[in-house]
Structure 1
Amino acid sequence: IFNDLRLEGKLCDAVIRVAGQEDFKVHKVVLCNCSAYFTAFWGHCWSDGAQQIYTFPTVSPPAMRLLLQHAYTGSAALTPENVLELLETAGRLAATALVRACCDFLEGRLTSANCVDMWLLADSHGRPELRQKAYHHLLRHFEEVAAHAENFLQLSAWQLADVIERDELHVGQEDAVFRAVLRWVGHAPEDRCCHLVMLMSKVRLLLMPSRHLAGGVENPVVRRSLECVTMVLNAMTVHAQPRRGEAADPLALAPQPRCWPSAAETEASPNTHVQLYDARADRWMGVARGPSRGFHGCAVLNGAVYCIGGFDGERNLRSVRAMDVATRTWWDAGPMRKARSHLSVVALDGCIYAMGGCDGFGVLSTAERYRADTGNWTLLAPMHRQRSDSCAAALRGKVYIFDGIPLNTAGSNAECYDPHANQWTLIAPMLAGCNVAQAAAYGDQIYVVGGVRHFSATNRVLIYDPASNRWSEGTPMISARSSFGLAVLEDKLYAAGGYNNPCCVRQVERYDRATDRWSPVRDMAGARWGFCLCVV
């Protein structure tokens, strides 16, 4: 009824005049009901006399028309063309319900062209849900936004720095970040060159190919700063050095959803990148970046890859980071009860098990279990002995773990955990001891592959049969390796990278039990060791 009265001009007690001298007759009480601004504006100067004219020269007639429509009816005809202007008007006039309606409308219409505007608008209007979604869209589609969106150039230096330093930033190659920084600075070089050193420090130059670094040195924007030139030259120097056991730019790897089935890996040093192996194309691809950690564990659960514990270069970690395979976005999962690096991790029946490892004070015998539905870790019965750099696998509802480093010796001990009884049971010892080997359930058996024995890497393969509790020897790998990645993909067992004195290796091979043969496949882009390999 109030809207009918407004449209007929009856009982109105105020006139709002907007840009273009267009007038709108209104009822003060209705606008006070929807806007804290009008409540404060008229609260101290309420008049029962003749209609007074209140001027808002910065508000357009279409925006005021929609604001009044929402104030009187609770709805407004929002379109992609009018929603941003209306959001700005509603924010200035503190029309909270209309701000919420505009944000809800925008959430379902995020694009690379408008995500920066939405991120900044949502921040200014206190809409954390829209801000988070717009920000995540910017991270997921950074290359498209940085290359084509004009509003990307309006970011402040600190806003851009916040984006490009994120581990969740999705770029195919790091040089896309480098180009984005140069584009942003080049938009107003006289004003922005002072921020170049700070922004360049956020670019992971060691992940860029040498040819792109060489081009960067010649860029006129970079050449303005001796410090930036030095940063690029230092990265080129590292690239030119031979890679040995202490790799200069080890990568962290994880999966992405474009190539199915796919295997992914996570590197051991506290520097991160995401790569994917496409078995059908026989190629490795860089796809994104992950959490900064090494000597951690990885598991796939409910469509997400979990990176668990590890070492960040300064301390052993309790934290767990998870990546949604479909969206390639990372989030913090619940932390473990204990800090662990060099741990063993498996997934079984909707749970993740983390066992043993080092906490900075000693080697652990404890184990714990994670439930995704609660986000919590629960301590389990301890193992029979302390274990670090062990290998583990899950098969037929039980978890198996095979020796490791109790006192810097290669043992042959093995045990099995029954989740229903919360009990560890010793099983038949391995035929020969080892540590930093890898294990995988392959068919109805568990393969324990590679590792270190007598201070040297081995290519040995041991096979455990849970049904008979017996061990047998399998066909050895082509290359000896330890601290490598092992996974089963399309009924073949893949071994990737690792360490073989005195250097890391990049070779990848796979075993086919049908032919009982190992055969080489495409090498990884760089040599690396101490990482995890998982299949999505």
Structure 2
Amino acid sequence: MLSEVPLDGAVGCIGRPNPPSTQDVEMKKVLSAQACQVLAELRKTGELCDAIIKVDDLSFPIHRNILSACSPYFRALFTNSRFDQNSQEICITGVSPDSMAAIIDYAYTRHVKLSWSNIEELLPAADRFLVSGLVKPCCEFLRKSINAENCIGIRNFAHSYSCRELEKHANNFILRKFQEVSATSQEFLNMHIDQLTEILDSDYLNVRNEEMVFDAVIRWIDHNPETRKQEIARLLNCIRLGIITTRTFIEKLSFIPHHKYLKKKCQKALNLIKTVSGIEWAADRESLLYLYRSLIRSKLDYGSVPNNYIRLFDIIISNNTSLKLYNCIYRDSVQCIELIQVFPCRCYVSVAELDGLIYAMGGFDGQLRLNSVERFNRKTNQWSFIPTMNHRRSDARATTMGGGIYICGGFNGQECLNTSEYFDPSTSQWTLISPMRNRRSGVGVIAYNGMIYALGGFNGITRMNTGERYCPTRKTWSTIPEMYSPRSNFAIEVIDDMIFVIGGFNGVTTIFNVECYDSKADEWYDAHDLSLYRSALSACVVRGLPNVLEFIHSDH
């Protein structure tokens, strides 16, 4: 009579086995390493070997079961009825002896020494013989070695052998470091036209301005002008010509030997630039959408993906009038839906959200600064007027706290303002609060730890690095430590219980500097800078976003 052995270690009880302990796992690793070492020694001495792989004039004694466990290719080879059990010799062509030796060593030891001297032969060999465990470290070696000079070659190499993650990483590197790649890489000059247009056409191309894209196109054509000048029309379709001035476009063409030919081919592009420069924004919607792609290139940062926010970028181009098209992105379905337009045209407007309603305050209609205010109800898709502010203002900034809206600073058409107001939706009334200590236009305003902070801005003379905060209880403003960089028209947000100020204009140039303020320490700290210079930008935090990867381009 057979006795039953308990599977869980308890006498008389049959059940699931207990999970292996850490000690058991470590023991298995040691035994596995020892087994690999013993098997490798047996192969080197030729003991118990049951097959020979011959490459050129070199022979490699092996154990068929070891290679079969490592590679489906060799398993199929050794179990095939055509395999000669008597000679036990396999001749393999199309691979170097060094690569075959490395594959066999990996099958026995699970280790391989990678270098630039063997990687270009070893990865194709590992792919051919289906040694997936070796393909991965080869791809990782190349991923860590990517730079501006070799990224295009690595991308093409990865594509040839279906290394999708490596190809994606290399492609992201090209997009992210395009300025450096296009200026220094010999591989860039040898790119095929199809690859180049794919890169230039990407909305994720990371360039500071569109002139850099134009310069890259000219550099690529100059490498072989007689052949490549025929491609100028195709390449121009990839450039956002609407944000290149006519003068810049013509000046750049005048410095290249074949500029006369290019000017002839670029006449359509010149017409587009002139059209954009003189466009009347009262044109119909179809015309506007036709020009949209030529006017804007998405500017998305690269790197790690945050857990709870999305950044939205927008552009307004005006020609003494303001554009009054409004769109929003519905976060779950990634759809842009058109909202009904506001009543007056507004640019340099202040916007805030309170209790699910969007408020548009003040701004500039092309002739006057406004004090009118509108409120948008998403449920009804309607804007409605609410009482006007006490002061006309554009370039102000608004925030919400305690169930109300605070708006500070701005410009009234004659001078920068230090006035501030508070809107109470329960009474539908605007109330002036204590004026700020400084006049501030292009100011950053945000609610933080029960206070209203007003930072930076332009006072009519210079950009400022000063800041102050308003206490609703005491109804007074008090100064805080100065920022490191003076700035106006910057983005401001609260993340991790600190105020972050991002980019802006310092009075001389657009900046990429980022710094953060901790109210507990009452101190400013440097934060990681932007990769691009940005001014007149905004930032927001959207918590619990389920599909952030669909909005942010990353290396993951």
Name the TM-score, length of structure 1 as normaliser: 0.57
Query: What CA deviation, in whole Å up to 9, does each residue of 1:470-499 have, x standing for no partner?
Result: 5118889x99xxxx9763499535379xxx
Residue 455 of structure 2 is matched in structure 1 by 492
Of 531, 537, 549, 1:533 maps to: 537
Q: Secondary structure at the match of 1:534?
A: coil
Equivalent residue, structure 1, for 2:450: none
Q: SS at 2:49's partner residue?
A: coil
- Contact 2:175–2:206, Cα closer than 8 Å, also in 1: yes
- What residue in structure 1 maps to residue 88 of structure 2? 51
State how far apart, in whole Å, the 2-side matches of 1:212 and 1:414 are. 42
Contact persistence 2:50–2:62 (CA under 8 A): yes
CA shift, 1:402, in A, is 3.4
2:398 is matched by which residue type in structure 1?
A
Q: Distance in 1 between matches of 2:255 and 2:111?
A: 56
Q: Which residue of 2 aligns with 1:119?
A: 155
Instruction: Determine the C-alpha separation between the residues in 2 that align with 1:403 and 1:215.
Output: 42
Which residue in 2 is equivalent to 1:392? 351
Q: Within 2, Cα distance between the matches of 1:244 and 1:151?
A: 43
1:116-265 alignment to 2 at 5 Å?
116-189=152-225, 191-208=227-244, 210-211=247-248, 213-221=250-258, 223-224=260-261, 228-231=265-268, 233-234=270-271, 237=274
Q: Which amino acid aligns with 2:185?
A: A
Q: Aligned with 1:16: secondary structure?
A: strand
Counterpart of 2:398 in structure 1 is 440
Corresponding letter in the other structure for 2:186 = E
Aligned to 1:79: 115
What residue in structure 1 maps to residue 312 of structure 2?
A: 307
1:134-168 deviation line (CA, Å, top 9, x unaligned): 11111111122222222333432111111111222
Structure 2: unaligned runs, 5 residues or longer: 1-37, 284-290, 318-322, 378-383, 447-452, 469-476, 479-486, 489-504, 511-534, 541-556
**1:86, CA displacement in angstroms?**
1.4
| Counterpart residue type for residue 534 of structure 1 | S
Partner residue in 2 for 1:27: 63
Compared CA separation, residues 213 and 174, structure 1 to 2 (3 A): farther
Asked if structure 2 preserves the Cα contact closer than 8 Å seen for 1:122 and 1:131, the reply is yes
Counterparts in 2 of 1:391 and 1:182: CA distance versus 1, 3 Å: closer
Any idea what SS the aligned residue of 1:47 has? coil
> Is structure 2 residue 432 aligned with structure 1 residue 472?
yes
Aligned residue-pair number: 402
Q: CA deviation at 1:102?
A: 1.3
- Per the TM alignment, residue 202 of structure 1 is displaced from its structure 2 partner at its CA by 0.8
Change (3 A) 1:125 1:190: same
1:106 aligned onto 2:142: yes
Match of 2:420 among 459, 463, 476: 463
Query: Is the Cα–Cα contact under 8 Å of residues 463 and 473 in structure 1 kept in the other structure?
Result: yes
Q: What amino acid sits opposite 2:239 in the alignment?
A: V
Q: Is the 8 A contact 1:214 1:236 kept in 2?
A: no
SS of match in other structure, 1:23: strand
Shift of 1:33: 2.8
Q: What's the offset of the Cα at 1:182? A: 3.1
Compared CA separation, residues 172 and 129, structure 1 to 2 (3 A): same
Amino acid at match of 2:152: V
What do the CA deviations read for 1:368-423 (whole angstroms, capped 9, x no partner)?
Answer: xxxxxxxxxxxxxxxxxxx999843479xx88853569xx998556799xxxxxxx
Match of 1:10 in 2: 47
SS in 2 for 1:130: helix
Q: 1:49: Cα distance to partner?
A: 0.6
- Check 1:104–1:155 CA distance in 2 against 1; reply closer, same or farther (3 A cut): same
Cα RMSD after superposing both structures:
5.6
1:522 and 2:507 matched: yes
CA distance in 2, matches of 1:317, 1:310: 12
The structure whose Rg is larger is 2
Partner of 1:290: 299
Which runs of 5 or more residues in structure 1 are unaligned? 248-267, 275-288, 292-299, 321-332, 342-356, 365-386, 417-425, 497-506, 526-530
Deviations 1:258-278 (A, max 9, x none): xxxxxxxxxx9766668xxxx
State the Cα distance separating 1:195 from its structure 2 match.
3.0
Tell me by how many angstroms 1:48 deviates.
Answer: 0.9
AA at the equivalent of 2:311: Y
**CA–CA separation in structure 2 for the residues paired with 1:148 and 1:25:** 47
Q: Secondary structure at the match of 2:111?
A: coil
More strand by share: 1
Cα deviation for residue 71 of structure 1 reads 1.5
Report sequence identity in percent: 23
